[in-house]
Amino acid sequence: MARWVVPGLIFFEFQSSQSRRYRQRRPGHPVFRHSPLNYENTELYHVTKKFLTKVYGFDLFNRFSSLRGQDLLYACIAYVEKIPLVTHDKDFDPYSKDLIIIKPRDVYGTGDIPLQTGSVSVKKDDKIYTVEYEVFRDVVRLKTGQATHTDQATAKVTAKQLLREIVGSGLADKLNLGKHV
């Protein structure tokens, strides 16, 4: 199962960003507080002595010297754990040789012709859920918008796993992807 690996700090960062944006763009309106991360698929990353030892061993403070605060932490986690970093932040661009960086905006609306397309289905209870997917530059994207890093050879398996996750979270029913059998 695909997992979001995040430091607990990200939930506070999200709330802080929401407060700042609403203060600036929509004064007097209630602040959106629903975190976009699905807690069931989230693994909180703990900054431990073992992790810090690896960061020092890889000399990551110098390697990622232009990053600050939470961005430095995210880059270090991605590097140490060898996991993709999903971000819209251009501050990570200089480190594209050190990190696997996925920029969702690069997947959406690029105008590129998909390398591969298809559809996947998952059966749960008395419904079959089906969704189409596309593969762009090592990213698989469901037509519903969910995307993750993959290679072209495993795109169908990855798309099916993404569908399983949105079925399990209830999102697939909200999007009316299921048909009764």
Non-local (6+) Cβ contacts of 21 within 8 A are: none
pLDDT at residue 23, rounded to an integer: 74
Predicted local distance difference test score (pLDDT) of residue 152: 66
Q: Average pLDDT by consecutive 10-residue portion of the chain (181 residues)?
A: 70 76 74 59 86 97 93 94 88 93 66 78 91 82 80 80 86 86 80
Given this model, what pLDDT does residue 109 score? 47
94, 45: one domain: yes
List of residues 6+ apart from 59 with CB closer than 8 A: none
What number of other Cβ atoms are within 10 A of residue 127's Cβ? Answer: 16
76 and 35, same domain (yes or no): yes
Are both 118 and 95 inside the same structural domain?
A: no
Last residue of a domain, one of 79, 103, 127: 103
Axis crossing angle, helix 69-81 with helix 49-57, rounded to the nearest 10 = 90
Provide the residue count of the chain: 181
Q: In terms of domains, do 9 and 63 share one?
A: yes
Stated pTM of the model: 0.54
Number of domains in the chain: 2
Q: Among residues 103, 130, 153, which one ends one of the domains? A: 103
Token pair 């569908």 in the structure block, residue? 163
Handedness of CA 56, 60, 62, 66 (dihedral sign): negative
> Domain range holding 17?
4-103
Predicted local confidence at residue 119, as pLDDT? 92
Are residue 44 and residue 32 in the same domain, yes or no? yes
What is the predicted pLDDT for the residue at 149?
74
Boundary-marking domain end, from 103, 118, 152:
103
Whether 22 is covered by a domain: the verdict is yes
